Structure 1
Amino acid sequence: MTEFLAPLAEQLAAVPGVSAVALGGSRARGTHRPDSDYDLGLYYRRPLDVDALRGLAAAVADEPAEVTAPGAWGPWVDGGAWLTVGGRRVDWIYRDLDRVERIWQECRQGRYEIGFQPGHPLGFYSHVYAGETARARVLSDPTGALRSLSEQTRVYPPALRDALVAGLWEADFAVRIAGYGASGTDPVYAAGCLFRAAGVLCHALHAHTGEWLLNEKAMVAATGRLACAPAGFAERLNALLGAVGTDREAIAAAVAAMGELTAEVRAAVGA
């Protein structure tokens, strides 16, 4: 039940700088567990009145919570707060609306970036911003800017699809350099390379299907459910990365298996 969020969303939208509030994450997608957090995207335009947000948090939270300034958590997930409201975990997550709008225009032109962000070991793919707005449940949007963007982003840009499929070159490269992990008996390096390759495959297959991929969490299972995914995609990746091995022969076998899967993904998307 999310009815309790409506008055909170209106209070948040009244804070100077907050343009819109949306429910995101698993709660918006309907894939949540009973104990899942409520992720509220606070779409803001600068300047954001952080002091007013802190005052609101003090009024509604069950216990004291830190409310950060923009930029405190990193360059892409740039701040917010973790609160408990009425016994429920509610996260406030900042999104710079001007930046989200700019990223959407870049997506339409087939451009994306991958940036460092704590909590995202694959790296933060910029088009996640667009995917979030496509799947979000808008709770408060006085100007209508977020609803307009949400409607636009429900159509996956063909240019972005082509760019992410073309990005499969990186999976090939990651598999090749993972071979150094076998020759040097370095399973940690090999595992890192193979994880990177796995993420590139997942993004390419989602793009080919025209579906937004928003997070590394559960990306393999989600990709395995796509109609275009190679047979046993999720099972093979889980087995491969669940046991890369510690001796040269086992690591080399894992690298070879990822190479085979990468070739099958290329065939599946016609690349």
Structure 2
Amino acid sequence: MITPDEIVSALLPMLRTWVAGEYGIAIGGSYAKGSGDSLSDVDIYLFANEVLPAARRDERVVAELGAEARPESWGADDPFVQGGTDFWYAGQRVECWLRSTRAVDRTLRACLGGEVRREYVVWTVMGFLSYAALADVHSMKVVDDPHGTLAGWKAAVATYPEALRQSILGRFMPEAAFWPENFHYRTAVQRADGIYTSAIVQQVLQALIQVVFALNRVYFPGEKRLARAMETLPVQPSGFARRVQELLASAAMDVAGLEKQRRELADLVAEMRGLVSAESS
């Protein structure tokens, strides 16, 4: 099977024709993080301020790779901030994510200073967290960086920023702690309102996940395959990944089952809050 490095090497001449001016190209996603498997696509990051419109990118893919590549592009052309062109190459799904160099640079600087933003977009289950850009840069494998832009970014995020850590802990620990003893959660349990309570559980657990990565000074790696990533973290409530998965999957939709779930969620929140407090003392 052709490797991601071989795929990107073969595609470089075409990808370079998509941009004008300074650019950088890297391998991202699961392969860059060392977690790629037979079901993974190949993620290519292309950073530039001027790129071909989506329709032109599709035309280039077909011209270079044939109609069987089946390109699909997305994103606004003007003003360009980010977009993508996905296609098939040598039997492998390739997703090329194009991002404005200026926009990424602004985001990195803001996050390094402690800014945390959350944008609700359809392609992320719990919303796009601005500081995910730091994780992308930290893990990406630079392929073509003629102007040194990507090298500079990687140097900037090499050490987990304390300002960002404090912002994440200060935002998401209170969010997680808001719900376990909340009146509306408890009455929803007594009504066996499983739709409402399941949303609460998901929200609390997602907040705790942000906390545990920040607590360990590890960049949040994104929503996929989180259990494996969390198991490696040295500072965490006992059996954290297992307990998260059990809380999401095991509740019976009756009063007794939902109350058991609520108590277990409260215990997990209390343990995490204790770890955060210990770190602060």
1:212-255 deviation per Cα after TM superposition (whole angstroms, max 9, x unaligned): 11312222442232110111111111111102221122112211
Q: Is contact 2:18–2:51 with CA below 8 Å preserved after alignment?
A: no
TM-score, length-scaled by structure 1: 0.90
Matched residue SS, 1:67: strand
Q: Distance in 1 between matches of 2:11 and 2:187?
A: 53
1:48 Cα offset (Å): 4.4
8 Å Cα contact 1:178-1:194 kept in structure 2 = no
- CA RMSD for the aligned pairs? 2.3
Question: Partners of 2:75 and 2:162 in 1: how far apart?
Answer: 36
Q: CA deviation at 1:142?
A: 2.3
Say whether the 8 Å CA contact 2:54–2:85 is kept in structure 1: no
In structure 2, how many angstroms separate the alpha carbons of the residues matched to 1:191 and 1:225?
27
Structure 1 residue ranges, 4+ long, deviating more than 6 angstroms after superposition:
none
Aligned to 1:191: 198
Q: Which of the numbers 105, 110, 116 marks the counterpart of 1:106?
A: 110
Distance 1:180 1:114, change over 3 A: farther
Q: What is the match of residue 267 of structure 2?
A: 260
Gaps of 5+ in 2: none
Aligned to 1:41: 45
Q: Is the 8 A contact 1:67 1:81 kept in 2?
A: yes
Corresponding residue SS for 2:72: coil
Measure how far apart 1:180 and its partner are: 4.4
One-letter amino acid of the counterpart of residue 79, structure 1: G
Kindly provide the amino acid, as one letter, of the partner of residue 138 in structure 1: V
Match of 1:65 among 71, 74, 78: 71
Pairing of 1:187-226 with structure 2 (within 5 A): 187-226=194-233
Which of 251, 254, 271 lines up with 1:244 in the alignment?
A: 251
Judged with a 3 Å threshold, the aligned counterparts in structure 2 of structure 1 residues 173 and 82 are, in CA distance, closer, same or farther, namely same
> Counterpart of 1:91?
95
2:240 aligned partner, one-letter code: F
Which residue of the partner structure matches residue 188 of structure 2? 181
Q: Which moved more, 1:179-188 or 1:146-155?
A: 179-188
Q: Which of the pair has more CA radius of gyration? A: 2
Mean Cα deviation higher: 154-163 or 3-12:
3-12
**Aligned equivalents of 1:16, 1:54: Cα separation in 2:** 14
Give the TM-score normalised by the residue count of structure 2.
0.87
Whichever residue aligns with residue 105 of structure 1, its letter is R
- Equivalence for 2:177: 172
Aligned residues: 268
Greater Cα offset, 14-23 or 111-120: 14-23
Q: Is the 8 A contact 1:228 1:269 kept in 2?
A: no
Shift of 1:183: 3.1
Identity over the aligned pairs, expressed in percent?
Answer: 23
Q: Give the drift of 1:154.
A: 1.8
Letter in 2 for 1:67: S
- Counterpart selection for 1:229 from 232, 236, 261: 236
Residue in 2 that maps onto 1:6: 9
Secondary structure of the 1:223 match is: helix
**1:36 Cα offset (Å):** 1.3
User: 1:135 — aligned with what?
Assistant: 139
* 8 Å CA contact 2:53, 2:77 repeated in 1: no
- Contact 2:27 2:44 survives alignment (8 Å): yes
How far off is 1:57 after superposition? 1.3
Equivalent residue in structure 1 for 2:166, among 156, 162, 165: 162
1:55 is matched with which residue?
A: 59
Please state whether the residue corresponding to 2:133 is helix, strand or coil. Answer: helix
Give the AA of the match of 1:204.
V
Structure 1 unmatched runs, 5+: none
Establish whether residue 148 from structure 1 lines up as the match of residue 148 from structure 2: no
Aligned CA distance change for structure 1 residues 50 and 71 (closer, same or farther; 3 Å): closer
